[in-house]
């Protein structure tokens, strides 16, 4: 779901509407509550909270949080993540990731 949304325009696919994205998040939430580790679930909750809020938080915060979520999922899958950080993993699909403030 995440990659489909992020990469849609790069792959020439139609972007999902806000309503469709919200529905996909809601559909995914029960499974994450049951199956995700505490680390993944906490990051997902924070990411979802940030996505739903109407505050003007820095987009860099949500991008960095998404990178942390990806790393937590990789850790759950058994990867060590010793040689990769959120900026590196985000750089695979985010242009100009090096401009993301650390």
As a whole number of angstroms, the distance between CA 61 and CA 102 comes to 10
pTM here is 0.76
Q: Which residue has the higher pLDDT, 92 or 75?
A: 75
| Token pair for 21 | 């994205």
Q: Is 16 helix (H, G, I), strand (E, B) or coil?
A: coil
Least confident of 2-6, 16-20, 46-50, 66-70: 2-6
- Distances in Å between the Cα of 38 and the Cα atoms of 31, 42, 82 are 13, 6, 20
DSSP 94: S
Per-residue pLDDT at 23? 87
Would you state the torsion angle of the CA atoms of residues 73, 75, 80, 83, taken in this order, to the nearest 10 degrees?
Answer: 30
- Angle, helices 38-52 vs 59-76, to 10°: value is 160
Per-residue pLDDT at 80? 92
Q: What is the pLDDT of residues 26-84, one digit of tens each?
A: 898 999 999 999 999 999 999 888 877 766 566 678 888 889 999 999 999 999 999 99
């Amino acid at each position: 779901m995440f990659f489909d949304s992020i990469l849609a325009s790069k792959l020439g696919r139609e972007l999902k509407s806000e309503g469709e994205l919200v529905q996909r998040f809601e559909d995914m939430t029960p499974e994450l509550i049951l199956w995700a580790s505490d680390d993944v679930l906490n990051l997902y909750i924070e990411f979802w909270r940030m996505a739903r809020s109407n505050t003007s938080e820095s987009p860099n915060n949500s991008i960095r949080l998404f990178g942390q979520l990806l790393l937590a999922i990789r850790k759950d899958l058994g990867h060590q993540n010793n040689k990769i950080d959120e900026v590196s993993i985000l750089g695979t699909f985010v242009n100009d990731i090096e401009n993301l403030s650390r």
